[in-house]
Amino acid sequence: MIFSRKRAGAGRHDRDERATEVLDDYPAEEAGAPSIARGPYDISEAPSGVARLDLGSLHIPAVPEVEVRVQADQQGVIQQVVLVHGANALQLGVFAAPRSEGIWDEVRAEIRQSLVADGATAREVPGDYGTELRATVNTQDGPTDLRFVGVDGPRWMVRAVFQGAAAVDPAAAGPLAECLEGLVVDRGQEAKPVREPLPLRLPREAEQEAESTPDGDRPADAPRQV
């Protein structure tokens, strides 16, 4: 697991201070009995006895050979969470949603409109969690495939973006799909505007190690942020 802390006033891709932990070392969480076959789960229905990395609103299950890359600001507020397995990556985000209805359909339409406006190709396809959005965007390294998956929960929505072979072939996601299926959302009870990102933070032990890491020791850039 790699944590990076962004310098104040630094550019979007500039980073310093890294702390490395082993995800499997985190203790198993206790939660209520599950009411659904797979996640993402609300904290109230997540299975117990599973080792997870507590990032505040997101608890990420420990899956072998999956690296968790987290970029945070100087206050320890997480700006980006990316899981990496081989050449595949999964970017995670979690947002507030209304109590009465989901927002993925609306969000997906806006993402598609934005991608097309930028010259990308995008199409909707059925997936394991309902309608997905698959897109090909132009980057400095050439065309890049992305697969957007949305999951509506009780007063929250998870947005997952696959990159690599997993973007065009869901079967290639492997351990990353396992991470999504075991993801837990801790929404909290505080009222929040719809679509506002739910707060994410570094674990205390990671913050302490990041503060003690020399400035010159920097991780490689995470996959493309979307």
| Predicted confidence (pLDDT) per residue in 88-130, tens digit | 999 999 999 999 899 999 999 999 999 999 999 999 999 999 9
Q: How far apart are CA 24 and CA 26, in angstroms?
A: 6
Sequence-distant (6+) residues with CB within 8 A of 125 are 131, 132, 133, 134
Phi and psi for 153 in degrees, rounded to 5? Answer: -120, -170
pLDDT tens, residue by residue, 128-168:
999 999 999 999 989 999 999 999 999 999 999 999 999 99
pTM, two decimal places? 0.79
Which strands form 28-29's sheet, in the order they lie side by side? Answer: 28-29, 50-54, 58-61, 184-185, 41-42
